[in-house]
């Protein structure tokens, strides 16, 4: 049974930082590209970032470029999202997801590219 479990969310002031983790089990982690998505109240789930199977290629949504960094540790079956210079508009539930597609395919910004999803962790940024 595949499980993706996010952690590291919380309440932070604008300008602060958080580091999210997503621990995977039940799958061959290095076979999957990993993505991060977020969903704010009343809004559609949106793409945040993706990382290739071995961490060599990343892709980011424009509004987080230069502030967020995704990385992975395949030995620990974990993917990370370092979020700096947080803004109130970053407030959302953040979820990780696993995909057999490659970052270079250009598909990883789409929800339908992903095979497995975590439950999400709440990030709240106060002004």
CB 68, CB 83: distance < 8 Å = yes
40 — pLDDT class (breaks 50, 70, 90): very high
- CA 44 remoteness from chain centre: 15
CB 38, CB 46: distance < 8 Å = yes
104 — pLDDT class (breaks 50, 70, 90): confident
CB neighbourhood size of 95 (10 A): 22
pLDDT of residue 45: 97
Q: Up-side HSE of residue 36: CA atoms within 13 Å toward CB?
A: 34
């Amino acid at each position: 049974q595949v499980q993706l479990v996010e952690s590291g969310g919380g309440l932070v002031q604008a300008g602060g930082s958080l580091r999210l983790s997503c621990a995977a089990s039940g799958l061959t982690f290095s076979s999957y590209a990993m993505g991060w998505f977020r969903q704010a109240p009343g809004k559609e789930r949106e793409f945040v970032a993706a990382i290739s199977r071995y961490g060599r290629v990343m892709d980011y949504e424009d509004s987080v470029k230069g502030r967020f960094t995704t990385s992975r540790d395949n030995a620990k079956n974990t993917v990370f999202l370092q979020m700096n210079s947080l803004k109130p508009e970053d407030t959302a539930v953040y979820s990780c997801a696993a995909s057999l597609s490659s970052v270079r395919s250009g598909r990883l910004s789409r929800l339908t590219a992903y095979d497995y999803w975590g439950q999400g962790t709440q990030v709240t940024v106060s002004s």
